[in-house]
Amino acid sequence: MADLQNAGRLVAIYPGSFDPLTNGHLDIISRGSRLTDSLVVAVLSNTQKQPLFSVAERLEMIRETTAQMPNVAVDSFSGLLVDYAATRGANIVLRGIRAISDYETELQMALLNRRLWPETETVFLMAGEEFSFISSRMVKEIFKLGGDVSSFVPAIVAERLRAKFGSAE
């Protein structure tokens, strides 16, 4: 049983689209990994109909960026988060909060997940203020309009954006 295996340990799932991973996500991952015994960054594979990067590409970029963090694992999942978390024996869902605008949907999700799975807690972390304005959506828009996104994303993500789409015009 996953619960027994992880008895007394803090195992967290950090779910999201990560399309693509940003320095904001990375800051949350690094803060979360310091607070927990084990952190699974979990790419949700069934939401967006037209992602920029495939799930495999997103996993590869996250794996490469977090390679030096020994208690961070990277995985993908589809279906209900609570079902996936149960298979990983997780007792914490980690989410990041940027501005107050994130609060409403995050609250709704946290309360729904609690109803579906009362044993877990959703834990919210705030990224450093230098990352608080960064979102995957803004990174994609800036890149498409020809802007420089290299200070918003890890180096491998900037490289992959250029390799996949050329320099945006």
Which member of 28, 40, 74, 92 binds ligand ADP (CB under 6 A)? 28
Question: Which residues lie below 8 Å from residue 148, measured CB to CB, with a gap of 6+?
Answer: 142
Backbone dihedral angles phi then psi of residue 57, each to the nearest 5 degrees: -65, -40
- Nearest distance in Å: CB 1, ligand ADP: 28
Pairing of strands 11-16, 121-126: unpaired
Nearer to ligand ADP, 18 or 53 (CB): 18
- In 3D space, the residue among 52, 109, 55, 44 whose CA is nearest the CA of residue 78 turns out to be 44
Q: Which is nearer to ligand ADP, 131 or 143 (CB)?
A: 131
Which residues are tagged catalytic? Answer: 25, 49, 98, 136
Residues 134 and 154: their CA atoms lie apart, in Å, by: 12
Of the pair 2, 106, the CB lying nearest ligand ADP is at 106
Rounded to whole angstroms, the Cα distance separating 145 from 78 reads 31
At closest approach, how far in Å is the CB of 131 from ligand ADP? 5
What type of residue sits at position 21? L
Determine the Cα–Cα distance for residues 67 and 94; give it in Å rounded to an integer: 19
Q: Is 24 in the site for ligand ADP (CB under 6 A)?
A: yes
Taking CB under 6 A as the criterion, the residue among 136, 149, 153, 161 binding ligand ADP is: 136
Q: Which stretch binds ligand ADP (CB under 6 A): 19-27, 55-63, 71-79, 153-161?
A: 19-27
53 binds ligand ADP (CB under 6 A): no
With binding defined as CB under 6 A, does residue 41 bind ligand ADP?
no
- From the list 13, 16, 55, 82, which residue makes contact with ligand ADP (rule: CB under 6 A)? 16
C-alpha dihedral, 48 to 21 to 99 to 77, nearest 10°? 50
Residues that bind ligand ADP (CB under 6 A): 16-18, 22, 24-25, 28, 95-96, 98, 102, 127, 131-132, 134-136
